[in-house]
Amino acid sequence: MSDVLGKILKARDLRSVLRKGVSESGQASLSLNLNIPGFPKSDDRIHSCFKQVLAELKRHLLSHRVLIDSKQEYCAVDAAGDFYLVPLFESTYSINEIKEISEKFEETHSLGRLLDVDITNSKGGPVSSGKAKLCYFCNEKPALVCMREQNHSYADIRQKIDKDIDRYLSEIRKAEVCKSLASSALKSLLHEVALSPKPGLVDRNSNGSHDDMDFSTFIDSASVLSVYFKEIAEYGFSYTNDDLKKALPELRRIGLLMEEDMFHETNGINTHKGAIFLLGFSLFVSAYLIAKRSFSYQTFVDLIKDLNGNLVERELGRKLYNESLTHGEVCFEKYGTKGQGIRGEIQAGLPSVFQHAIPVLESHLQNKQRTDDKILHKSLTHALLALIANNDDSNILYRKGVEVLDGLKQKANEAFLNFENEKFEILYKDLIHYCEKNHISPGGSADLLAVSYFIFTANKQHA
């Protein structure tokens, strides 16, 4: 007998002893293992697959109200592979019904026959449904026939298993990444609007320089936009075409839907148009890069530039519609480079975000495991000042002209430079007062703040 086979058989003996131990205490038990032929029966990838399946199985059992004695669970990896055993509490189900529930899990799972959930009754006997399961590899003959006849080569089976496990783990990763990105996108909008006080902008306590919207308008708008965040992330994660520009029509389609929903939700008020544009691209690019495990600030910038190319000339240089000019278009006509607004910012790879806001956020938040209102208030206020001080906000340019914009930037810069000292409160109040007096709102910087926080968070979680 080979040494390896001896070890596998010994590991099975141990499993049998453990099952017996449970039945001797009068309880039925449930176990999970993976049907991996050959040796080794586990490795890092198989093990992480097992852990995921186990978490799903436990959720499945709990949702069907099959109660496990989780204080006495046994989980180990040995020569026979990954193994989980747990005693079952008595329930209203018969042991055969529990077997049916566990078979439903096996049958509906994407890894199907690779999973083996066994039920042992309280007398120590295996509970069988008597069904002959089909072969994992060919799905034609009964599994046991293919096993004994060795119908499929070991290499072929292992290859299929590797492929299936890869697919399963990557589906799980996609779901986790997209969920976290979508949640970060909404968080960034909410934390931005909740930051109070802010110069000229809508916050918890003030409408700033706006008379057509307030805090609740932003909450409503952010809520309806959040519905699309996961969709954009999933599109980016699964995007495989090397030509990223081919993604633009679909991204615009989703963006237009978001705008329609936003206007519907806010009764025609533009709360988040800039944020839709920035966050939409950022979600797509982040998910795309994270899927390839190559997310970094640098790759992000490169892709944003690559994706948008000569956005300024393309969109501001000519009319998309023959209707009235947008604010951005008016500014570009009037002020040239200084009036390129958000399109110029995107085309340059978001320099305000990466050179000004993110370094500030990092200085406050990089080593923080958790954030709270106080630390967010401090870091976001600081980053907002960095943005206002450096951003040629085309909205202000459009409404008030270059002098008011430069005055705003200068006041923001003074507050920024004195952030940690005693003059700050006065300077910040002065900035707020300046916005009130001129009736201006640095909305473009607010959008950039949200996207900076989003990219910072994505980097922290996924770089």
Partner 1 sequence: MTPKFKAQAGTFESSDIMVLIEPVSEEAGRQIDISSTVMLQFEDDIKNTINQVLDDLDIQNVHLIAKDKGALTPTIKARVEAAVKRSLGIQEGTM
Q: Which residues bind partner 1 (CB under 8 A)?
A: 1-2, 5-6, 9, 12-13, 15-17, 33, 35, 80, 116, 118, 125-126, 128, 142-145, 147-148
At residue 240, the 3 state secondary structure works out as coil
Q: Is 434 left (phi over 0), alpha (psi -120 to 50) or beta?
A: alpha
Radius of gyration of the chain (CA): 29
- Omega cis (within 30) before 40: yes
Query: At closest approach, how far in Å is the CB of 144 from partner 1?
Result: 5
Which long-range contacts (C-beta less than 8 Å, at least 24 apart) are formed by 100-108? 100/129, 101/60, 101/61, 101/64, 101/66, 102/30, 102/57, 102/61, 103/129, 103/131, 104/60, 105/56, 105/57, 105/60
CB 249 within 8 A of CB 264: no
Cα separation, 286 vs 350, in Å, equals 14
Is the CB of 35 or the CB of 91 nearer to partner 1? 35
CB of 32 to partner 1, least distance (A): 12
Q: Which is nearer to partner 1, 36 or 244 (CB)?
A: 36
Question: Least distance (Å) from partner 1 to the CB of residue 69?
Answer: 21
Residues 120 and 28 sit within 8 Å (Cβ to Cβ):
yes
Residue of 403, 390, 457 whose CA lies nearest to 181 = 457
Minimum CB–partner distance for residue 143 and partner 1 (Å): 8
Least Å distance, CB 61 to partner 1, is 20
Taking the CA atoms of 373, 425, 353 and 196 in sequence, report the sign of the dihedral they define. Answer: positive
Nearer to partner 1, 67 or 144 (CB): 144
Paired tokens of 206: 């003030």
| Shortest spacing between CB 128 and partner 1, in angstroms | 8
Of the pair 147, 224, the CB lying nearest partner 1 is at 147
CB of 148 to partner 1, least distance (A): 5
Tell me the helices (H) and strands (E) count for the chain, helix number first: 19, 4
Single-letter amino acid code for the residue at 204: R
Closer by beta carbon to partner 1, 13 or else 176: 13
Q: Which is nearer to partner 1, 129 or 216 (CB)?
A: 129
C-beta closer to partner 1: residue 144 or 426: 144
